[in-house]
Chain A
Amino acid sequence: MKRRDKMFPYLLLAPSALVILFVLIAPLLYSVYCSLYQCTYMRFTKFVGLDNFIKVLTNMDYLKAFGRTFYISAVSLVIALVLGVLFALWINKYSGITAYAIQLLVLIPWVTSQVVGTLLWKWIFSEDLGVLNYLIKQLGMAPLKVLSDPNTAVWVLIFVMTWRIIGYAMVQILAGLKSIPKSIEEAALIDGAGKWQLLRYVRLPMIKTPLLISTIILTLSNINNLTVPLSLTGGGPGTATNVITISIYRLGFESYQFGTSSALSIVLFLVTLVLSIGYVKAVKYEV
């Protein structure tokens, strides 16, 4: 093989590699550097080694925030997957313009601005003046404590986060369903499989991969979400919805503790990296 040919793939990869290294990976390493210093207002005052990491990992507030983050992300994910499967099964019966229209409608929350969507939800949920409680009052029922009760606030946050991601899950799963060869389903039906059995033994195993992909992409997306929790609840009431991204944001931009904030960012990144590796393993992508 000619030398030029040997170099060709590297030439092709160089621009992307540089951009990813420079914009995504380098700041990460820079924040590793920040995290080893006492760094207030961007002044590196003292090298403290792993102290910042020890500080954040032994702080119960942050550990609880991590726990809350996983809980909220997981519940939201499970709901999105279950409803995603149901919607996908429903739409799978249709073809043409109807199916297309439904897919688009369900995908809209995923592809529009989170800030605006969240603020508008918050307005609708506003306890005394919002549309939701107005309608409830019109029906003669007692108005709900929506965001001022810690228990319901968590569910409202889960609702809005699920609302955002459900379309993605549905479209992924639908594509999986569409890829199942008709002959297999027909064979199962001829063998006397019921609807439930068809789902359990034929369809679900065949959409394993899209389910896994959705699981991981949406977990990452939920865990890293700052916009929705910050705009919807600001972490409250109390600490009910105080997820880890809010802590990172507050440390950095309200208390100016960039060292500890970086340490927390890195811990969060490592968690998401482990999940990404899971992603690769799950799809068994061959290189």
Chain B
Amino acid sequence: MRKMKKGLALVLALVMMVAMTACGGGGDTNEGDGEKGAKTEGGKKELLVWTFLNPNDESGRGYVLAKAKELYESEHDDVTVRIESLEWDTMTAKFFAATQTGEAPDVIWVNGLNLGEAIQLGVVEPFENLFLKDWTDEQFADLDDVRFEYGATDDAHYQLHLSTNVYGIVYREDLFKEFEIDPNFESWDDLIAAAQKLTYVNEDGMQVYGLGVGYNEKSADSNYLRAQLFTQYGDVVDENGQANWDGDVGQAALQMQIDMIDKYKITPQSAVSATSEEMYADFIAGKYAMVFGGSVRIPTIKSQCAYDPDSVKLMPYPSSNGMDGKGLAAGWNVCVYSGSEMKEEAGEFVETLCCPEIDKLWVEEGGQIPLLKSTVDACGEFLSQPDNEYLKTAMEMLENNAVAYNSQYVISGYVTDLVKSMQLAYVEGKSVEEALATTAREFNERNNN
């Protein structure tokens, strides 16, 4: 054993040396990488873009990105755009790490949740320093809305909001018709009453539930608690950046989530282990009449369901306490890396992504909500087709029933915290108050606001 210890110590010492030399060598490589921004390939500079979209796959969104690259390169003879497609769930973490190691891209899709961190870390460049300084007021007004203002101050806009996802209730109009239910709910009570009617066993012997949701911590999304926070507070943190869900609103909402399973029986108990992915899959299979869902998922649902695809509809959350129901408008924030050596070019690429020509494609090929108000008219015909009605609904919701995150504070992990409260209260048997207080404390400690 003693010999072994000695051996281990030697291994460790040796490895330290190797690691140190390697790190030294790393410094050199990084210097070499300093040229990266200006790296020339046949005299061309290379603009590196990190996104989760894939310009080579079959999706409409990938196609639009490829078109934007084409258009940009035709306008910039001296630049080639290199698009790297990363996995969406770890991409932002890798970007933050990469800003430290000199491997960061020039243009990056930042997850909606992490824009606050990105701004605080100073790794994203205000567009005012780039293309916005040359824009006319009309151009600016055409783009400006709740999404573009996300994270912005009076003189700094940091991101272009793509893949906008407006949250509400995704429902099946065919079942509503069958049960003669009017989808214009006045309140959550109406919705719950409807969900109770819609909880039944269908002709295939399948137990259908009125309202679906997923509480798995691995991948959670919207739920009643979050809907209440956005409706009543417009945010998930208070003015000091502290979690706001441990108050009365949160407690009532969490109790309601439990009641939805145990008392009203409109949500199955299996929701505690379902990820949001499984919830959507179950909705496609016909298990739910309504789910807490986002607009971007509707095309996927329509393309896979066995029932009439045109019956898949979206509605805003009902109002609570006289306040209009509000859901999150989340999406991906296209930003320019502040350490990039090609900031101007990167800014121009962002500009290309929101030019009228490409925006029209985002709508018609990518199934996205228009970025520019002028695109609504340009795509009038497309948007009036019944298949695309959900886009119109989402646009209306964006105007009347949506909030964006407040990027002043770091909020990473709050989605997990919210569902963890449910896990603690429903599965672990903690009281509603205790469950919410626990996760709020964890959130506050972690994010240090």
* Cβ contact within 8 Å between A255 and B97: no
Distance from A159 Cβ to chain B, minimum over Cβ atoms (Å): 15
Within 8 A of A (CB), among B1-51: 4, 11-12, 14-16, 18-19, 22
1/0 per residue, CB under 8 A from A, across B255-287: the answer is 000000000000011111101001001100101
* Cβ contact within 8 Å between B270 and A145: yes
Question: Counting CB contacts under 8 A, is B74 at the interface?
Answer: no
- In the complex, A71 Cα to B350 Cα: how many Å? 51
Size of the B side of the interface (Cβ < 8 Å), in residues, is: 48
Chain B residues in 8 Å Cβ range of A29: 12, 15-16, 19
Chain A residues in 8 Å Cβ range of B121: 41, 43
Question: Counting CB contacts under 8 A, is A12 at the interface?
Answer: no
Which of B178-186, B216-224, B386-394 makes up part of the contact surface? B216-224
- In the complex, A237 Cα to B427 Cα: how many Å? 7
Chain A residues in 8 Å Cβ range of B146: none
Q: How large is the interface on A (under 10, 10 to 19, 20 to 34, 35 or more residues)?
A: 35 or more
- In the complex, A256 Cα to B97 Cα: how many Å? 9
Chain B residues in 8 Å Cβ range of A42: 96-97, 99-101
A42-B100, A126-B278 are contacts. A256–B16 as well, Cβ < 8 Å?
Answer: no
Chain B binding surface SS class = helix
* Cβ contact within 8 Å between B416 and A254: yes
* Cβ contact within 8 Å between B270 and A254: no
1/0 per residue, CB under 8 A from A, across B410-449: the answer is 0011001000000110111000000000000000001000
- In the complex, A21 Cα to B96 Cα: how many Å? 27
Chain B residues in 8 Å Cβ range of A240: 427
Within 8 A of A (CB), among B320-336: none
A128-B207, A237-B423 are contacts. A25–B15 as well, Cβ < 8 Å?
Answer: yes
1/0 per residue, CB under 8 A from B, across A247-259: the answer is 0001011111110
Question: Counting CB contacts under 8 A, is A147 at the interface?
Answer: yes
Question: Counting CB contacts under 8 A, is B153 at the interface?
Answer: no
- In the complex, A240 Cα to B272 Cα: how many Å? 12
- In the complex, A237 Cα to B272 Cα: how many Å? 6
* Cβ contact within 8 Å between B93 and A237: no
A147-B273, A234-B218, A234-B275 are contacts. A129–B285 as well, Cβ < 8 Å?
Answer: yes
Q: Which of B12, B117, B218 contacts A230 (CB 8 A)?
A: B218
Q: Which of B19, B89, B96 is the most central at the interface, judged by chain A CB atoms within 10 Å of its CB?
A: B19
Distance from B157 Cβ to chain A, minimum over Cβ atoms (Å): 22
1/0 per residue, CB under 8 A from B, across A104-139: the answer is 000000000000000000100011110000000100
Distance from A32 Cβ to chain B, minimum over Cβ atoms (Å): 9
* Cβ contact within 8 Å between B269 and A148: yes
Chain B residues in 8 Å Cβ range of A25: 11, 15, 18-19
A126-B278, A148-B270, A256-B96 are contacts. A236–B19 as well, Cβ < 8 Å?
Answer: no
Distance from B166 Cβ to chain A, minimum over Cβ atoms (Å): 24
Q: Which residue of B lies closest to A130 (CB)?
A: B270
Q: List 29 A-B contacts (CB under 8 A).
A: A25-B11, A25-B18, A26-B19, A29-B12, A29-B15, A29-B19, A41-B96, A41-B100, A41-B121, A126-B282, A127-B273, A129-B206, A129-B281, A129-B282, A129-B285, A147-B270, A147-B273, A150-B427, A153-B273, A234-B275, A235-B218, A236-B216, A236-B423, A237-B423, A238-B424, A254-B412, A255-B413, A255-B446, A256-B412
Q: Which residues of B contact A (CB under 8 A)?
A: 4, 11-12, 14-16, 18-19, 22, 89-90, 93, 96-97, 99-101, 117, 121, 205-207, 215-219, 268-273, 275, 278, 281-282, 285, 287, 412-413, 416, 423-424, 426-428, 446
10 closest Cβ pairs, A-B complex:
A234-B218, A238-B427, A127-B270, A147-B273, A41-B96, A42-B97, A42-B100, A26-B19, A238-B428, A148-B273
